[in-house]
Structure 1
């Protein structure tokens, strides 16, 4: 069978036009929220200056924290370039609020691969939560990959200090969580133990909907700035947001007890941090359009996709079950060839820090490791799923998809 990838993409775009228009409406709502926060805190060019050394009294950083908190619907926030990844931000939250003898429960099955060593599910001798006497349980997903709501009703005990709610599917074939799902989880947990902290791994989920987890009762959230909220231009960092005392506890693990959120120079990055937040809604909108386009095309080609082409998005990740290591590698090679940076490179499977399986990654991005820019990767394990994420414009995704279709 001869496939005309260009014609296929044109047909897909026509079919998806109504969805693209709905996405633009959501972008406008989120952008208005960001603009109101900038206006309320009177952001000006004087906030772009930074301080050196300890980073004390950084007016730009302090104002950005307030702006970010308002956008997230939280009491407080800490936006820091010293947070090297989403995993680091999450680890600071977990080590900041948990104590020996506490229990943590993951309510959405197994966590993302890079958290396994943080928790102590695998690896030893590096100071995991388990080594500090913190117990861990997880509620397995149902057969169709959804939350076991019946089990959740009785899962929370008096020792359960924190529940981990991973919003995105990660490297699993399951639906990601909507804000409505997160609200339902929080309500169920609080009914059993009002003192249990509801913590959301918010990676890949920011600005997907017009609300964020703190607005529906989540106590604490964390994520990466080289994902959605960095708007594709922030060079490094992460954020923590939620109840003020919990944010402070988390930043005490980032810096030190007694210093907490008061320290951390921004290295003249304040302008990019503000501008990235301003651009974030638009960039997320373009990435979501790219996921719909990818799903539509590969569904038409007969590959299982998650989520489905016309389904509402809950994060910026689109998974395609390719079925063989050869197709997974070929797909990533095609994406790399149509990336702006390193198009001449050839992705090969390799071991990555924090991951159990070898990964093959296409990441020709301006910011190393950025998943707000278009990229694709997948673990070399059955059923050989490629996970596409990000995209500064859906047309770039379309161009790269033409090559990916031909490659597999």
Structure 2
């Protein structure tokens, strides 16, 4: 395809997807109203935006921020800290808080996200894994259509099952992300058959995409990263855990130490960015979703398989595109990198990354290192050589990046 024809196609796509954009904007309005109410309930003041040092005792800003998060997520309590270094870290402290030796962790969507496998002990022999501590693991595969296997889940439940792990996003898998309606059905199903089981949701990439969050519909605990959706593109680091008060306390005891829990932890100089980030998050997430819709339709028109389709319901910000060759995968990521504001001159290469089984290629020319909400593209080098695009601080920026990626891909025979 001639490159000026690609630009014309992009304009056609932009017109095609306008009705989907309007739906996204309507949900963003609902979410923004809920976020703003959280600020009002916390009686947010300018002194809350200042940080603390040392132990961080009596940090009223930190308390206000966690009250806001609890309201947004429909939770009893929240732990929101800059010292949580990633979504994987947040998930780890949640799991180690809920599980005890002799318990079983049950995943109901097949293998979890790659970085969780060593935490569980499913892969490798990392000291201190759940397996190392005597916590067993079981998983139920999805059906061939990518949906939950209800009979398989019921058969897997047993007296030792303590935590059911649910992943809201698709991760590095060619399957649909889990909608809130599907999650509600799953929660009701589990609570009726095994009320002793905690429903834990890896909420990464899903925050503020729909108008309800997992804890608002019955999940016991959720966790995620501030460098993804709730950071609003401003949070320089951090993660969160939210849900039942007793389970948040358990996670806090694993984050610091029993008896100390959430009472310490300085907010330092970036407290204001965490407040401003969650305030902007509904809008920035909406921009990222519009970018994903544009990318889906453009590459669909170019003849590639995409998941989800541009007009399908979404429950995360991730757009998967099957490029079907490692060369196209590299070309796509280099196109995104080349359109980035930071390190545009860099050429991403597939390589080993800690926590991943396959070599991974990542394009992330971001202001905050690894901030997926800004605009990133990454993938493990395995069939069907699908790239996973996420984020975008503005839909205009995503459009520029995606067109640049498409131009690179179309040069590969």
Which category of TM-score, normalised to the shorter sequence, fits these structures?
Answer: over 0.9
Corresponding residue for 1:123? Answer: 124
Q: Hey, what's the Cα distance between the residues in 1 that align with 2:362 and 2:326?
A: 13
Corresponding residue for 2:327? Answer: 326
Corresponding residue for 2:317? Answer: 316
Corresponding residue for 1:232? Answer: 233
1:285 aligns with 2:283: no
SS in 2 for 1:137: strand
C-alpha deviations, 1:150-170, integer Å up to 9, x for none? 222333222111000000000
Corresponding residue for 1:163? Answer: 164
Shift of 1:341: 0.3
C-alpha deviations, 1:357-377, integer Å up to 9, x for none? 111111000000000111101
Corresponding residue for 1:248? Answer: 249
Shift of 1:344: 0.4
- The question of whether the paired residues in 2 share the 8 Å contact of 1:330 and 1:404 is answered with yes
Corresponding residue for 1:2? Answer: 2
C-alpha deviations, 1:338-371, integer Å up to 9, x for none? 0000000010111111111111111000000000
Corresponding residue for 2:53? Answer: 52
Corresponding residue for 1:335? Answer: 336
Q: Hey, what's the Cα distance between the residues in 2 that align with 1:403 and 1:200?
A: 35
Corresponding residue for 2:217? Answer: 216
- Aligned positions, number: 408
SS in 1 for 2:286: helix
In the TM superposition, 1:315-394 aligns within 5 A as 315-394=316-395
- The question of whether the paired residues in 2 share the 8 Å contact of 1:179 and 1:211 is answered with yes
- The question of whether the paired residues in 1 share the 8 Å contact of 2:119 and 2:126 is answered with no
Shift of 1:50: 2.1
- The question of whether the paired residues in 1 share the 8 Å contact of 2:118 and 2:126 is answered with no
Give structure 2 stretches of 5+ with no counterpart. Answer: none
- The question of whether the paired residues in 1 share the 8 Å contact of 2:165 and 2:200 is answered with yes
Corresponding residue for 1:181? Answer: 182
Shift of 1:273: 0.7
Give structure 1 stretches of 5+ with no counterpart. Answer: none
- The question of whether the paired residues in 2 share the 8 Å contact of 1:58 and 1:265 is answered with yes
SS in 2 for 1:364: coil
Q: TM-score, normalised by structure 1?
A: 0.99
Q: Hey, what's the Cα distance between the residues in 2 that align with 1:345 and 1:109?
A: 35
Q: Hey, what's the Cα distance between the residues in 2 that align with 1:301 and 1:126?
A: 47
Shift of 1:81: 0.4
Q: Hey, what's the Cα distance between the residues in 1 that align with 2:155 and 2:357?
A: 31
Corresponding residue for 2:275? Answer: 274
Corresponding residue for 2:307? Answer: 306
- The question of whether the paired residues in 2 share the 8 Å contact of 1:86 and 1:223 is answered with yes
Corresponding residue for 1:138? Answer: 139
- The question of whether the paired residues in 2 share the 8 Å contact of 1:336 and 1:343 is answered with yes
Corresponding residue for 2:86? Answer: 85
Q: Hey, what's the Cα distance between the residues in 2 that align with 1:188 and 1:155?
A: 13
In the TM superposition, 1:65-84 aligns within 5 A as 65-84=66-85
**CA root-mean-square deviation:** 0.9
Shift of 1:309: 1.5
SS in 2 for 1:320: strand
